[in-house]
Structure 1
Amino acid sequence: MAVPDRPVHWSLVPLLAAPATVLGVVLLYFGQSALVPAVAGGVEGICGSPDCGLGIGVMLFLAGVASVLVALLLSVLLGRARARGGRELGLHLALRDAGAVTACVLLGYVIVSVLLWWMIG
């Protein structure tokens, strides 16, 4: 027997999407900060000076902050649109929307990261 979908408030979408995006950005930031220089033979192997490595770190941090803000904005807009559309927002739909927003924003962060590393290299 299927479990009925419990109705939830639209604000659950940003309350789920924002922390998930923060966690994803932090994991991606520290993962690539460790992986890319190790693969390329050190920061000097990528850009030639430690200042350049500091610059890419700052740019990746700013891109992460922008990603979280974009995720928060998109999830608020999506949650409000679902609530305003006359449909009852269920728990499954809220989880799906938050996951979709998080996945799209993290994909954007990965693309920006690849572009930044490519431009520096």
Structure 2
Amino acid sequence: MNPVMSQRIRNRVIDCLEIAADESKQDAFGPDGVVNLWEDWRGAALGPPPISSLTPDELAAVYAFDAMWVALAEGTSNPMPALAELRQIPLWQSFVAAARCALAELSQVGRLPEDRPVA
């Protein structure tokens, strides 16, 4: 994959993590939207092979978030319960915590340009 595409996907991963980590953004997307957004980007981000714009620590954090996403997707009904109900469930709380941890890790470098490769 070319570097610019990898950088763009990295930025979409950050978008997904920001939405999953923030209650007001969760409200805007709804529970299915939060979960489905990551489903849309996880294959591009995690590969194989995973995108090259993630450091090993960032990749580990994203894999941990993805593991919580899988647990949440398998452990809740489809369609998902309302957010008010979900926020009381330890599985959702762990999913949000994993999003916040991964976001903190990726925020150390932050977003990358989408129009040119970084050195």
TM-score, normalisation: structure 1: 0.31
Query: Which of the pair is proportionally richer in helix?
Result: 1
